[in-house]
Each structure stands twice: as structure tokens, then as C-alpha cells.
Amino acid sequence: MYYEGPIYRPPSEADSLLVQATVGCPHNKCSFCMVYKKGPRFHIRSTSEIIADLEEAARLTGGRVKSVFFPAGNSMAMPTRDLARISSRARELFPNVERITVYASMPSILSHGPDGLKELKDAGLSRLHVGLETGDGETLKLIKKGVLPREQIQAGQMALEAGFNLSLYVLAGIAGKERSLKAAAETAFVLNEINRAGLFTVRIRTLVPKINTLLLHQIKKGSFKLLNAHEVLLELQYLLENVTGPFDLFSDHYTNYLSLNGKMPKDRKPLLAQIETALKRPLCTFRGDFIGTQ
Ligand code: SF4
């Protein structure tokens, strides 16, 4: 099995077989992200090499694999035909596989178009993990996410219409202190628009500044102000008050101050009550600020 550069996978893919399809991230500009800042440069592995790794994994496991994840940062950037080919080969080699998944950016989803997405879904790719971060256009520009809110909506809807299971990662605190609530309202708007096309999963993360990032530099200079735990919770409160749903909500990450899990809108009331209770706790009872190194 061949692995090159940082290999990240979402916590929900902890038990998945990891077969590397791409190396690095084709965008690699987000101000808060350190993962590939020191390389390697983005490239796509040859389809025959990826398939050779899948075949080796099938030999080693006897084909008993329940889920497959194709790292690295955005394997949705592969040409449609190649991603479809490795997905269908994975389905053949692992007959009981329940899902095949990748990290995807919204622009890379759009680049396949409705027909390409259908081809990928038919080939067996089933779940897309997308870093939405925020739906606020001004913040998206500041953090250099490389996408507009209308593209997020279009891509999200297109993925759902093609039948994909979509996990959207919202990064609480990324808009900074002054824009926190405004950005939460814009994020709620984008989620509500995507929701018109179907059900998805929202996964909350909380901003932790990372080494070797532009954002950490901005914090040190004073041009970006990190939210404290109460301010993050107020932002999430505002977000949950303004989303329509339906979607599943998870806070499956160590960065979060509170574990908010449920179904929206059914669980809105208990989730908001959980936030209200947490807001009564003194700030010193939450985790402290730290600089992330991974
Ligand atoms: S957050 Fe995702 S898209 Fe942005 S640079 Fe990091 S890996 Fe690439």
C-alpha cells in the first residue's frame, strides 16, 4: 500500500479502508488550514496504481471491508472516469462494502456536472465530506476558501440530487468576533437552500488556530479575534435558531466545547436548552485556547 504526504480522514471514517487516490490538496490556500502547506504538491495517482492497492487490500482482508475512503484532501478533483473506475473496482473487490467516500470541495463537485455525478454515484461512490466552513461570502473570501455561497448552494443541491450522502463541515468561530452572528445567519441561509434538495449531515467543528497558517499570523497581529467558548456557543445558538432542516447534526470532534447531536428541526428545543445550560458555566470550565499542530 502506498501513502504519500499527510493522510487525514474524518472521524466517521475511522474504520474505513484508506486507499490513497490523490496527494495533497489542489486548492491549498485556506487561511486556517495547515495540512498541506508544506507540501506535497497536489497530484492524482494513476488509476492502475490505485487499483493495485485496492487489490492488495482485498487479498489482505479477504474482501471483508465495510467502507472505503480515498484520501487525500480532495479526491473529488479526479477526472470523472477515473474516480468512477476506482469506485466500481472497490465495489467488485469488496462485495459487502456499505459506502465509498472522499473529501470533496464544492467547486470539484460542480466540475463533474449532473451527468458526471450520476456516473460517480452509479459506479459506487456514495458519500462526500465537504468543508463548508461558513456560508458567509465575506468570510469565505477572507479565509480564501475559493468558493462563493451560490456555488455552495448549487453544488450541495447537485450532489443531493445525484443521490449522494453529503456531510457538511461547519467551522464555528471562523468569521471572528465582529462577524460571528452575521456569518451564522448566512450559513443558516446556505444550509436552508441546500436542504431544498434533500437531507444531509452537518458536522460541527470549532476553530482552533494551527501552526504555519495565515490565520495564526492574523491572530498574532490582532487583525483576527478568536471567539471565547461563550461566543462560539452563542454563534451555534443563532445558527440552530435559523436553520429549517431536516438534517442530522453531529459534533464529532475534539475541538468542540459542547457535544451537540440530534436531528433538526425535531431536536431544536433540547439542543438549544443544552446550549443555554452551557452558557451558564464560567469560561474557565471550558477547554483553554491552544495552537493545533496536526
Ligand atoms: S481546508 Fe481543505 S480545501 Fe482548504 S486548503 Fe485545507 S485541505 Fe485544502
Q: Does the CB atom of residue 108 touch ligand 1 within 6 A? A: no
The answer to whether 218 and 176 are in contact (CB under 8 A) is: no
* Residue whose grid cell is 485556506: 30
Identify the H or E element spanning 103. strand 99-104
Residue identifier of the C-alpha nearest atom 4 of ligand 1: 30
What gap in Å lies between CA 258 and CA 136, rounded to an integer? 23
Q: Quote the ligand 1 centre to 145 CA distance (angstroms).
A: 8
User: For residue 29, how many other CB atoms are within 10 A of its CB?
Assistant: 13
Interval between CA 28 and ligand 1 midpoint (Å):
5
Q: pLDDT tens digit string along 125-134?
A: 999 999 999 9
**For ligand 1, atom 7, which residue shows the shortest CA distance?**
73
Closest CA to 66 of 87, 97, 100, 101: 97
Q: What is the identity of the amino acid at 252?
A: D
Query: Helix 149-161 to helix 176-195 angle, to the nearest 10 degrees?
Result: 30
Q: Residue 85: how many CB atoms within 10 A of its CB?
A: 17
**CATH entry, 1-125, from 3.10.50.40, 3.40.920.10, 3.30.70.260, 3.30.750.210:** 3.30.750.210
Cβ(25) – ligand 1 distance below 6 Å: yes
For the chain, the residue count is 294
State the Cα torsion 226-231-234-235 to the nearest 10°. Answer: -10
CA-to-CA separations, 202 to 69, 132, 172, 214, 224, in angstroms, rounded: 19, 9, 12, 26, 25
- Residue 133 CA: nearest ligand 1 atom is 1
Q: How far is the CA of 276 from the centre of ligand 1 (A)?
A: 33
Q: What topology is assigned to 132-281 in CATH?
A: Transcription Regulator spoIIAA (3.30.750)
Q: CB of 30 closer than 6 A to ligand 1?
A: yes
Per-residue pLDDT, averaged over 192-206, amounts to 98
Mean pLDDT of 160-177: 98
Domain residue limits, the chain: 1-125, 132-281
Q: DSSP class of residue 253?
A: S
Mean pLDDT along residues 67-92: 98
Q: With the C-alpha atoms ordered 23, 25, 28, 30, is the resulting torsion angle positive or negative?
A: negative
Cis peptide before 72, with omega less than 30 degrees from 0?
A: yes
CA-proximal residue: ligand 1, atom 8 (nearest)? 28
Q: What are the tens digits of pLDDT across the range 43-55? A: 999 999 999 999 9
Q: From ligand 1's centre to the CA of 105, what distance in Å?
A: 8
Residue owning the nearest CA to atom 5 of ligand 1: 28
Q: Do the first three CATH levels of 1-125 and 132-281 match, i.e. the same topology? A: yes
Quick one: how many helices (H) and strands (E) in the chain? 9, 10
**pLDDT tens figures, 112-158:** 999 999 999 999 999 999 999 999 999 999 999 999 999 999 999 99
Asked if residue 294 has pLDDT above 90, the reply is: no
* 54-78 tens-digit pLDDT: 999 999 999 999 999 999 999 999 9
Residue 29 CA: nearest ligand 1 atom is: 5
Between the CA of 130 and the centroid of ligand 1 the distance, in Å, is 10
